[in-house]
Amino acid sequence: MTLNPADDQFAQSIRAALPDEVLRPVTARYLEEPRRRISGQAGVLAVPRTAEEVAVLIRLAAEASVPVVPYGGGTGVVGGQVTSDGPAPLLISLERMTAIRAVYPTENVMIAEGGVILADVQAAAEGANRLFPLSLASQGSCRIGGNLSTNAGGVNVLRYGNARDLCLGLEAVLPSGEIWHGLSRLRKDNTGYDLRNLLIGAEGTLGIITAAALKLFPRPEAVGTAMVQVTSSEAAVDFLALARDLMGDSVSAFELIHQQGLLFLSEVLPDTRQAFAEPPEWSVLIEIGLSMGQSPETAFEVLYEAAEARGLVTDAVIAQSEAQRQDMWAVRERIPDANRLIGSVSSHDISVPISAIPEFIRRGADVVAALGPYRVNCFGHLGDGNLHYNVFPPNGHSRSEYDAESAKVKRAVHDLVHEFQGSVSAEHGIGRLKTEDLERYGDPVKLSAMRAIKSALDPKGIMNPGAVLRL
Amino acid sequence: MTLNPADDQFAQSIRAALPDEVLRPVTARYLEEPRRRISGQAGVLAVPRTAEEVAVLIRLAAEASVPVVPYGGGTGVVGGQVTSDGPAPLLISLERMTAIRAVYPTENVMIAEGGVILADVQAAAEGANRLFPLSLASQGSCRIGGNLSTNAGGVNVLRYGNARDLCLGLEAVLPSGEIWHGLSRLRKDNTGYDLRNLLIGAEGTLGIITAAALKLFPRPEAVGTAMVQVTSSEAAVDFLALARDLMGDSVSAFELIHQQGLLFLSEVLPDTRQAFAEPPEWSVLIEIGLSMGQSPETAFEVLYEAAEARGLVTDAVIAQSEAQRQDMWAVRERIPDANRLIGSVSSHDISVPISAIPEFIRRGADVVAALGPYRVNCFGHLGDGNLHYNVFPPNGHSRSEYDAESAKVKRAVHDLVHEFQGSVSAEHGIGRLKTEDLERYGDPVKLSAMRAIKSALDPKGIMNPGAVLRL
């Protein structure tokens, strides 16, 4: 399918159909992504205010066969929001669609437009004494439409699920330029195919999410947070199972932290307040949410004693205040910042079946060591089997010295993940940086079904071309 | 697309490719559905033992353009499993694919073949000290592949979600006859479109689910069950909100019961042990699952006092033994049996936004009364906004006298549901009995996307033709 650039003539067609302020100059921030692997092309930037305006834009793009790149908060790390290949695109940013249309506390539902910043969704839920549990490092700038389009994960997936699990319905503009009015507040609706989940995680290749009906939850009465030293990665997995046995689904976060990350923090972000004087080889950040007058301290004491009796843990610090809780989370959330300052040779957002994690970590260490004297920082959402597995140059060396090795390291780690029946993109998506990985490791029958669905819904291939499925 | 009947010649092609015992005579049970609205046609019946055999069958059907009807437990009530129109089909029953391939207790995952009976899935989970929460009246005969294909609901959706929320991955044969190997045990995997959720709820029109990776949960330490008299349907909704405020997501079931159902039980199933001497106008069956040494009695006492202070409740019975708990559930589970014995003019599986339920009940009573002196039995999964709204002839009259009125009643109730932004099939699916409703009330953009997806994945239209989308 031949596509045409979003040129002056195309911009003129938009000006003729929509108010002038819908078009804006394309500034640098729309052409960058956080890891600077791809530089986007400047085409035309539109900032619509309504689903109807989005629909007009998509219809014009479809008529002119102009590629469309949807833009949320711009925080994605796989290049789904920028394109350097093909004709210059129409960028559609949802930054002016920031209304929270309604909150229904008794139903535990909120209707938010696609451009609402995640932190604002959380705050609006809190204002209604409810919880919207999606929580991730970029929540101050990412937007809920993008979170849904990429099926974002984060730190509360263990208890509450991914973005897709937090959505009841969508309003979206399909590649035909038609608006699907699917903003259902229903918990149960078995009337036809699950178009909602097809759009969620499609990374803008099947349409643009203009609004969503989001699930809210009761706020736990009491939240407890602790940093716990575990004796090994096996012990971490067993400690997780024990915590879930004892506390049911009260465990909302369970983050694995390796010594390497704490050493990086000491090196490049030394003002970070760490829980332990000596960085332990393995530790976990655990958070629980309780109700009915239960005490987090008591719950942690019971858990710790049971874990100690099994030889799983050697020390723990329980947050005694919100400030201490914030400090613990800051350790976890700043590890990616420290990683960036150190500079990785290759970084991986992977998942494997939870019970296989210790063996994966062992095998991974061998695989990486066979390639060179690298340092590995492996951390993340253990409760979901999702690790950020990052490989760094030896102490005293910089990433640039290893540029030539990066692809080899990535391939070796991903091959191992595949051998473990894991995923090479657990929560970040495919974007444009992982399309080759998807082709290599993805199930061929699924890939061919995906291509058939893409062609059926977007026959001209205008929606975010090159993302998820290669051009 | 012209389809051909599954005739002797077609059976011969199966015999040539697969062992003899894969073919069996078509007996009456494969041609009936529980409500006897559709009589299926006898074509050819195949009972494969493996996904590979299913794939061979589908490839033969695709080559010969023979329609395929997948058959699980045969318990669906909308005719998805039987066809009376078009050429006689190849029936594929998964009754010999009943292996539980693996259980991973530390991962809370089970791999079960599509033909495993739901009660056997539950028992296998219990055997590993885990919970598989999907629970519905037909669990002794429905099969998990069918539960997933129809996105079954049941009594634990409030806490644990529908069937789709309980599935991590699928193995399925697509209409091309290719096997999609998607039996992921991963909690997070963002590599491409969500084919899993597309097949779940597609009612066999996009493929056959041959195995599933199912989510297990920790078993609650203590389960409490109570039958509570509420002062009105509004009070029931407020009582639900209060319970969730006080108990977080410990509330696993919240079933609304109307006096009419209890009167029907007294009339046609008088051995049912009811909780209250006088059937209250409205009552609810509430179940909670607790951990960490919490006592259900104490929890119910706290809840009841708070509800009584707000004027929501007037009496309650807490189950003191498993036998009493079973009695309470028997009341709820036998109401549909009583309904069948009385004989409804029209029955509806509907959902509306939870906060609108009291108004819907009021308006529904007016709408039905305007059509005739009917009795309404309205009951069900209040926590999910899902009511079974059934209309019966006046006392002393039989349903057959009102056959001519049935369509009018159905239309009036469904129109009202649509006005309330509800669903005319909350948990039963579309099958063949509700395709017209889907066309009338469904979003046209979604319908057109569904047709495009169906054509793309099943260009010959062999998979369960006439189900979900009309021929």
> What domains does chain A contain, in order, with CATH numbers?
100-218 (3.30.465.10), 222-419 (3.30.70.2190)
Touching check for A451 and chain B: CB below 8 Å?
A: no
Touching check for A80 and chain B: CB below 8 Å?
A: no
A63 contacts: CB under 8 Å, gap ≥ 6: none
pLDDT class for A252, splitting at 50, 70, 90?
A: very high
Of A192, A423, A424, nearest to B468 by CB-CB distance is A192
Alpha-carbon gap, residue A26 to A45, rounded angstroms? 6
The distance of B84 to chain A (nearest Cα, Å) reads 21
Q: Which chain B residues are closer than 8 Å to A150 by Cβ?
A: 190
Q: Would you give the DSSP letter of residue A236? A: H
Q: How crowded is residue A25: how many other Cβ atoms within 10 Å of its Cβ?
A: 8
Q: Find the DSSP H helices in A113-258.
A: 118-127, 144-149, 157-160, 195-199, 233-247
B107 and A443 within 8 Å at the Cβ level: the answer is: no
Closest chain A residue by Cα to residue B470: A192
Alpha-carbon gap, residue B69 to B76, rounded angstroms? 13
pLDDT class for A178, splitting at 50, 70, 90?
A: very high
B423 and A190 within 8 Å at the Cβ level: the answer is: yes
Q: Would you give the DSSP letter of residue B250? A: G
Q: List the pLDDT tens digit at each of the 471 positions of chain B.
A: 699 999 999 999 999 999 999 999 999 999 999 988 889 998 999 999 999 999 999 999 999 999 999 999 999 999 999 999 999 999 999 999 999 999 999 899 999 999 999 999 999 999 999 999 999 989 999 999 999 999 999 999 999 999 999 999 999 999 999 999 999 999 999 999 999 999 999 999 999 999 999 999 989 999 999 999 999 999 999 999 999 989 888 999 999 999 999 999 999 999 999 999 999 999 999 999 998 888 999 999 999 999 999 999 999 999 999 999 999 999 999 999 999 999 999 999 999 999 999 999 999 999 999 999 999 999 999 999 999 999 999 999 999 999 999 999 999 999 999 999 999 999 999 999 999 999 999 999 999 999 999 999 999 999 999 999 997
B125 contacts: CB under 8 Å, gap ≥ 6: B103, B110, B131, B132, B216
**Tens of pLDDT, residues A99-134:** 999 999 989 999 999 999 999 999 999 999 999 999
Strands (E), B174-244: 179-182, 208-215, 217-218, 222-230
* Helix, strand or coil, per DSSP, at residue A346: strand
The distance of B281 to chain A (nearest Cα, Å) reads 23
pLDDT class for A36, splitting at 50, 70, 90?
A: confident
Two tokens, residue B309: 């202070």
The angle formed by the CA atoms of residues A126, A128 and A130, to the nearest 5 degrees, is: 55
Which amino acid belongs to residue B397? H
Alpha-carbon gap, residue A63 to A65, rounded angstroms? 6
**Tens of pLDDT, residues A359-412:** 999 999 999 999 999 999 999 999 999 999 999 999 999 999 999 999 999 999
Touching check for B442 and chain A: CB below 8 Å?
A: yes
Closest chain A residue by Cα to residue B295: A292
Two tokens, residue A400: 């640039």
Q: How crowded is residue A108: how many other Cβ atoms within 10 Å of its Cβ?
A: 23
Picking from B164, B167, B191 by the largest number of A CB atoms within 10 A of its own CB, the best residue to mutate is B191
Touching check for B42 and chain A: CB below 8 Å?
A: no
A438 and B192 within 8 Å at the Cβ level: the answer is: yes
User: For residue B272, what pLDDT is reported?
Assistant: 97
Task: Single out the residue of B194, B213, B261 nearest to residue B104, CA to CA.
Answer: B213
Q: Which chain B residues are closer than 8 Å to A247 by Cβ?
A: 291-292
Two tokens, residue B428: 């039963």
Q: B101: phi > 0 → left, psi -120 to 50 → alpha, else beta; which?
A: alpha
Do B177 and B65 touch, CB atoms closer than 8 A?
A: no
Q: Which chain B residues are closer than 8 Å to A421 by Cβ?
A: 184-186
Q: Taking residues A250-274, what's their average pLDDT?
A: 97
Touching check for B102 and chain A: CB below 8 Å?
A: no
The distance of B448 to chain A (nearest Cα, Å) reads 9
- For the cut 80, the answer to whether the pLDDT of residue A1 exceeds it is no
Q: How far is CA A388 from the centre of its chain?
A: 12
A193 and B184 within 8 Å at the Cβ level: the answer is: no
For chain A, how many residues are written? Answer: 471
Touching check for A322 and chain B: CB below 8 Å?
A: no
Picking from A171, A187, A388, A441 by the largest number of B CB atoms within 10 A of its own CB, the best residue to mutate is A187
The distance of A259 to chain B (nearest Cα, Å) reads 24
β partners of residue B46:
B23, B92
Of B158, B206, B452, nearest to A457 by CB-CB distance is B452
Touching check for A404 and chain B: CB below 8 Å?
A: no
Strands (E), B178-294: 179-182, 208-215, 217-218, 222-230, 251-258, 282-290
Report the run of H or E that residue A4 belongs to, with start and end: none
Task: Single out the residue of B310, B146, B167, B317 nearest to residue B229, CA to CA.
Answer: B317
Alpha-carbon gap, residue B237 to B378, rounded angstroms? 14
Do A143 and A153 touch, CB atoms closer than 8 A?
A: no
Report the run of H or E that residue B103 belongs to, with start and end: strand B100-104
- What Cα–Cα distance (Å) separates residue A256 from each residue in A50, A230, A236, A304, A365? 42, 10, 8, 17, 16
- For the cut 90, the answer to whether the pLDDT of residue A86 exceeds it is yes
Closest chain B residue by Cα to residue A103: B355
User: For residue A35, what pLDDT is reported?
Assistant: 83
The distance of A344 to chain B (nearest Cα, Å) reads 22
- For the cut 80, the answer to whether the pLDDT of residue A234 exceeds it is yes
pLDDT class for A471, splitting at 50, 70, 90?
A: confident
Alpha-carbon gap, residue B471 to B467, rounded angstroms? 8
Touching check for A131 and chain B: CB below 8 Å?
A: no
Picking from A173, A188, A458, A469 by the largest number of B CB atoms within 10 A of its own CB, the best residue to mutate is A188
Q: Which chain B residues are closer than 8 Å to A433 by Cβ?
A: none
B248 and A438 within 8 Å at the Cβ level: the answer is: no
Task: Single out the residue of B64, B82, B65 nearest to residue B73, CA to CA.
Answer: B82
User: B296-302: which pairs have CB atoms within 8 A and are 24 or more residues apart?
Assistant: B296/B222, B296/B223, B296/B224, B296/B225, B297/B224, B299/A292, B299/B224, B299/B246, B299/B247, B299/B250, B300/B224, B300/B226, B302/A292, B302/B246
Touching check for A245 and chain B: CB below 8 Å?
A: yes
Touching check for A286 and chain B: CB below 8 Å?
A: no
B180 and A446 within 8 Å at the Cβ level: the answer is: yes
ipTM of the prediction? 0.96
Of A161, A192, A384, nearest to B438 by CB-CB distance is A192
Picking from A149, A185, A190 by the largest number of B CB atoms within 10 A of its own CB, the best residue to mutate is A190
* Helix, strand or coil, per DSSP, at residue A161: coil
Of A182, A423, A445, nearest to B178 by CB-CB distance is A445
Task: Single out the residue of B36, B22, B106 nearest to residue A354, CA to CA.
Answer: B106
Touching check for A188 and chain B: CB below 8 Å?
A: yes
- What Cα–Cα distance (Å) separates residue A334 from each residue in A135, A326, A331, A379? 15, 12, 5, 12
Touching check for B153 and chain A: CB below 8 Å?
A: yes
The distance of A447 to chain B (nearest Cα, Å) reads 8
Two tokens, residue A270: 């030394």
Touching check for B250 and chain A: CB below 8 Å?
A: yes
Touching check for A440 and chain B: CB below 8 Å?
A: no
Touching check for A295 and chain B: CB below 8 Å?
A: no
User: For residue B62, what pLDDT is reported?
Assistant: 98
Lowest mean pLDDT among A44-48, A467-471, B32-36, B442-446: B32-36
**Tens of pLDDT, residues A398-447:** 999 999 999 999 999 999 999 999 999 999 999 999 999 999 999 999 99
Q: Taking residues A79-84, what's their average pLDDT?
A: 94
Touching check for A397 and chain B: CB below 8 Å?
A: no
Touching check for A221 and chain B: CB below 8 Å?
A: yes
Which residues in A177-206 are b (16+ Cβ under 10 Å) and which e?
A: bbbbbbbbbbbbbbbbbbbbbbbbbbbbbb
B201 and A194 within 8 Å at the Cβ level: the answer is: yes
Q: Which chain A residues are closer than 8 Å to B194 by Cβ?
A: 151, 164, 194, 197-198, 200-202
Alpha-carbon gap, residue A379 to A337, rounded angstroms? 13
Task: Single out the residue of B182, B295, B185 nearest to residue B247, CA to CA.
Answer: B295
User: For residue A45, what pLDDT is reported?
Assistant: 98
Phi, psi for residue A38 in degrees, rounded to 5: -130, 135
